[in-house]
Structure 1
């Protein structure tokens, strides 16, 4: 028994256009065609469509779904396991948020109600924390901060004012003054994170995404980007001891241009590492390809220079400070990149 495309669309709730697109990209190719050229779908095709729709509910891209369906079933199991782990984290975060809200409620009932702007900012910041940190990570941050936040508050305010002055007068992130500002800013974030590069990246993401924190810190996305680029220029100077003069000319043309793409990629890879995603699976293959392209891009596509940069990064601890990449993460993504090479020679 075969179903024509219109009937399949009607019975599944999909559009004819979507089914045609699935055919065009070879995700769901009908088993037969009628004498008039109409697509005809078999029972096997419908079963594949069911799996496609099930995987779509896991927020996977069509390319990822195709890779999963065309490979071993174990990889589908990997994706499901990741989704279960994500749901577990969301349940813990929701529980922690409820506890925080009850605390706020008690405070409001027991004392004079603060100004609406004050408690809205506090509440939004609290919600932001639950998005980015697990319950254990929030406990670690709370312990680490014990008195730290208040102690550095004046310096943070001074750095914020300094940043705004530099941006207002158009000082380049390459300027030594901008680099000094950025390095101190990152040092403070690292102290807040207890030296944990993974937590540093989460703090970075939270400060990047949450308008409530922009209001509290006085540093918005443009300011964070300025700091990030200034750090890239500072790191570039460190590479000078590992590279030739010609190498540095190439790096000055390409290195900083890659800066904005790194934090979200590092965060994605770290998340996969935390849930023990196999380094030879489809998820990490895709991330490793992005990592490899970015890494080569900052060297202007020069493979020899790329190799120099990798060696320098491995052996010079100063280059890794504030990068979000610790030894464990570097080893994990290194394994994924090595599997890319294995696949190309098999």
Structure 2
């Protein structure tokens, strides 16, 4: 039995254009053609099309379908995992929307008519958070869950830092440094000390204008806070370093500061798997850590010991860093091993 492309399109519910596309990408090529060049599909071709349609209904991308059909056993577990993850996200998003609609219904039933603009803003922010956090992760963020005390505290802090910056107050000013320390401590507190939460927040803050508009934390203000926090930490290190060592640190410390958050998150996630510091993967992470550390500490072991002494004596150096004693011990063991 052979079917022309028009007949196959009609029986399968697809368009001729779709079948042409499948042919062009090598997903479903007709076994034969007429002398005039028309496509003819045999029983095996039709059976393959049925498989393609089944996988498409399953939500599998065309590129993955081709890979799977070429080697059926190799990709199926990964494909199933992808679909489960996608369905889980959809369920979570539906649950969030259901909660919002329930609250809206409750307000309407109590004759508390919400402002349309407020609800649109709320839904926009919820959708934005959905892109970066799972439901469980969102529930651990007090400023997302409507903690009035937390939101008021952050609003006051952001306003204070804006006032410092707008007045032209240098970030090295002690009063600004104290505010920056408090900022970082609040951030560590409200993410539960989870560096992955910090990475997600930073990504959302960098990529979403709506986030910056809502919380008032512009890119310029973020840089101002980071500069002040760095200046405060450098002041603590300076007490332990020679003038040359400190000059090198001061020039290089801010350059790659943004790399610490993702690396700390990666190391902590690795530790959570129960990995040994002596594992090859642990040693690779320790290598990344030391390379980043040496970018501002230099290569002299004597300088490294001075910095370690600073950390042992200056408890404040841990503030807002998301670095735990467990993590440091793990890195040291991996380096030593």
Contact 1:279–1:285 at 8 Å: present in 2 too? yes
Tell me how far apart the structure 1 counterparts of residues 120 and 326 of structure 2 sit (CA, whole Å). Answer: 38
- 1:28 is matched with none
Change in CA separation of 1:291 and 1:273 when aligned onto 2, cut-off 3 Å: same
Ranges in structure 2 where 5+ consecutive residues have no aligned partner: 1-24, 27-62, 68-76
Contact 1:198–1:324 at 8 Å: present in 2 too? no
- 3-state SS of paired residue (1:256): coil
2:321 counterpart (320, 323, 335): 323
Change in CA separation of 1:251 and 1:218 when aligned onto 2, cut-off 3 Å: same
- 1:121 is matched with 121
Tell me how far apart the structure 2 counterparts of residues 221 and 281 of structure 1 sit (CA, whole Å). Answer: 39
Query: How far does residue 177 in structure 1 lie from its aligned partner after superposition?
Result: 3.3
- 1:32 is matched with none
TM-score, length-scaled by structure 2: 0.61
TM-score, length-scaled by structure 1: 0.60
Query: How far does residue 268 in structure 1 lie from its aligned partner after superposition?
Result: 2.9
Q: How does 1:243-282 map to 2 (within 5 A)?
A: 243-276=241-274
Tell me how far apart the structure 2 counterparts of residues 283 and 326 of structure 1 sit (CA, whole Å). Answer: 20
Q: Does 1:182 align with 2:180?
A: yes
Contact 2:297–2:304 at 8 Å: present in 1 too? yes
Tell me how far apart the structure 1 counterparts of residues 233 and 82 of structure 2 sit (CA, whole Å). Answer: 34
- 3-state SS of paired residue (1:257): coil
Tell me how far apart the structure 2 counterparts of residues 257 and 293 of structure 1 sit (CA, whole Å). Answer: 13
Query: How far does residue 232 in structure 1 lie from its aligned partner after superposition?
Result: 1.4
Tell me how far apart the structure 2 counterparts of residues 315 and 248 of structure 1 sit (CA, whole Å). Answer: 18
1:100 counterpart (96, 101, 118): 96
- 1:27 is matched with none
CA RMSD of aligned residues (A): 4.2
Tell me how far apart the structure 2 counterparts of residues 337 and 164 of structure 1 sit (CA, whole Å). Answer: 42
Query: How far does residue 285 in structure 1 lie from its aligned partner after superposition?
Result: 4.8
- 3-state SS of paired residue (2:297): coil
Contact 2:236–2:310 at 8 Å: present in 1 too? no
Contact 2:195–2:262 at 8 Å: present in 1 too? no
